[in-house]
Amino acid sequence: MHLEMRDTYDPSHPAYQDFVSGGSGWYEMANWRKIVQDAVGRGVTIRRARVVSEPPSDYIRWEHMLTSQNVAAGEDVRWLPREQAWDLMLPGADFWLFDHKLVMFNFCSGDGTEIPEEKSSNDPDVVARCLAAFERVWERAIPHEQYELPSRD
């Protein structure tokens, strides 16, 4: 399970720079697709929930366009507008939760640049709180195939 709550990640990514410059911004996520396909082939379920601001940032628009690759590889992706998450009391950082046993937190600077230091925990209380937070988001979130980005008014 992966919970994403930021509106920008790695603004220096070349494909993102192409996107904000008016290009297609497309790039093949072949390595990630292979990882997902192999995991799904072993029976692993990969769920990704994104809590996003509306109207969305350019980065989220770009990420939404690329998400078809995640879904095609076997990920289940959902989107939750931030205004619908106000009462969920979510963790202060994005995280991956593995096998209901280990949670790894990811940190970014204010501009979305990844901070290489990660924190992880296998403390059952931390794992349970993160699992509960993810499931609350998941229940409210909209499947990728149904989520339409609002226009930029």
**Mean pLDDT, range 49-64, rounded to an integer:** 97
Angle CA 113–40–26, to nearest 5: 45
Query: How does pLDDT run across 82-123, given as a tens digit for each residue?
Result: 999 999 999 999 999 999 999 999 999 888 888 988 899 999
Strand-pairing partners, residue 86, are: none
CATH class, range 2-143: alpha beta
Q: Please, which pLDDT band fits residue 136 given cuts at 50, 70 and 90?
A: very high
Model-level pTM greater than 0.85?
A: yes
Q: What is the 3-state secondary structure (H, E, C) of 45-84?
A: CCEEEEEECCCCCHHHHHHHHHHHHHHHHCCEEEEEEHHH
- Please give the pLDDT value at position 153: 64
Question: Do residues 67 and 46 make contact, with C-beta atoms less than 8 angstroms apart?
Answer: no
Task: Give the start-to-end residue ranges of the domains of the chain.
Answer: 2-143
- Percent of the chain residues topping a pLDDT of 70: 99
Q: What are the residues facing 106 on neighbouring strands?
A: 94
